[in-house]
Amino acid sequence: MNNKKVSVLLALALAFTTLLTACGGNGASESAAKPAGEVLRGSIEKQFEVESAHSNMNAVLNVDFPEEAKQDPSVAMVEPFLKEAKLNMEQTAIMKEGLAYSTIEAEAGGQKVNGEMAMVSPTKMVFKSDLVSDVVVFDMEEIMTMAQQMGGGTAPNMPTSFNAMFTEEFKPVVTAYLDIVDEAFKGNEPTERATEEIEFSTGKESLDMITYSYKSNDEVLAFVEKVANNILTSEKIYDLMFKNEAILGLMGEDAKAQVPSKEDFEKSMKMAKDMFDQEFPKAKDEMAKVVDIKDITFKVGIDKDGYMRYSKMVFDGVIKQGEFDLPVKLELVSDVDSINAIKKEDVKAIEYNEDEAISFQDLMMGMLMGGMDVDVIEDDMSDDDMMLYDDEMDMEDDMEEMDDEE
């Protein structure tokens, strides 16, 4: 798949991921009589009242490779793993204490993998599965520190807490983000709204079900055009993005120093609008070369108290790959069957020895080095070995430079 196709697909993914987020953040409501936007925003703001929850998530991915594509050995190798691939996750969490336990089951290509994941503090999570012999530790403080060091201190000042999105400290950021989303998505009304009965493990409940659904490339492009014009012509977007202390607080110092003046921003937006008006009419033909959308749907269900209890996302379409087409269907369904009823003893823990665990960073480094254990590499190589290794690397670099010059 060439870069242009990848760019278009990423743009679509970003647009609809943002819509998904927007659908999770647009209004406070206990009644289906209120506007959808108000209800949806309230369902996100209501998350700050959630202290604990039990949830379930099920996903199914199916990529239907044509017979001619399977003649390629590399395709034949991955095809079974993309045919009816399934993922199930069940989670019990006490967000306010930074505790959570999840079981994960994945099935693909006739193989099953089981795993466990536990949040042991607001900043540390551990993962155990059939795939890795060691317990893997995700320490967000260490990961963010490394990101800032690698970025020369320019990395965003993102929170290190896994549940930071719904802590009081982060609430102003969520509110600011929702203001931007409201401005960008204004005028996009749901395609369907109805009261629907959903079966939970605790029994049936009646939910206000709000659905956004797009059944063709043209419908998707109409949505994208409306959102783009909302942003490019907005008189509020500059203040929402660059005058809000909560958002500025997430930026690195270098990024803050580069915030444009309002005048410069408005000039750049006008130029972007002119370019968009000129280029967007070509998008229909370009998009048709990459994908044929049959259905993109996001459905969210909100209970009488304003809590988001159910969501369903569907992608059904044909990805055009070289000489053949790939029908792809992804369906993801989540439900929350218990809110604020979990006790501390209900949350399991993963027992592990810190000395036998491996950090996420070291795991990734080991994979980059061909699956080798980073600790073993360091232990087995003496200082002389390391110096010899560095000399060999330098010599290879010099030889490559000489070849380039020739």
Question: Mind listing the pLDDT tens digit for each residue in 302-360?
Answer: 999 999 999 999 999 999 987 889 999 999 999 999 999 999 999 999 888 887 788 88
Q: What share of the chain is helix, strand, coil (3-state, %, to 5)?
A: 45, 30, 25
Q: Which residue has the tokens 């750049």?
A: 268
Strand segments, DSSP code E, in 252-323 are 291-302, 308-321
Letter for the amino acid at 217?
N
> What's this model's pTM, rounded to 2 decimal places?
0.75
Task: Give DSSP secondary structure letters for 227-283.
Answer: HHHHHHH-SSHHHHHHS-HHHHTTS-HHHHHTPPPHHHHHHHHHHHHHHHHHHGGGH
Q: What are phi and psi of 352, to 5 degrees?
A: -155, 160
pLDDT score at 404 = 55
CA-to-CA distance for 209 and 197, rounded, in angstroms?
A: 9
Task: Please count the CA atoms within 13 angstroms of the CA of 212 that sit on its side-chain side.
Answer: 23
Burial environment of residue 356 by CB neighbours within 10 A (0 to 12, 13 to 18, 19 or more):
exposed
Residues of the chain where predicted confidence (pLDDT) is lower than 70: 1-32, 148, 151-166, 252, 370-406
pLDDT score at 159 = 62
Q: pLDDT tens digits, residue range 159-199?
A: 666 666 667 778 888 899 999 999 999 999 999 999 999 99
Domain ranges of the chain: 3-358, 373-406
pLDDT score at 73 = 87
CA distances from 212 to 311, 329, 379 (A): 11, 17, 55
DSSP secondary structure letter of residue 162:
T
What radius of gyration, in Å, describes the C-alpha atoms of the chain? 25
Q: What are phi and psi of 293, to 5 degrees?
A: -85, 130
CA-to-CA distance for 219 and 185, rounded, in angstroms?
A: 15
Residues 6+ apart with CB under 8 A from 228: 276, 280
CA-to-CA distance for 342 and 87, rounded, in angstroms?
A: 24
Question: Could you tell me if 192 and 31 are in contact, meaning their C-beta atoms sit under 8 angstroms apart?
Answer: no
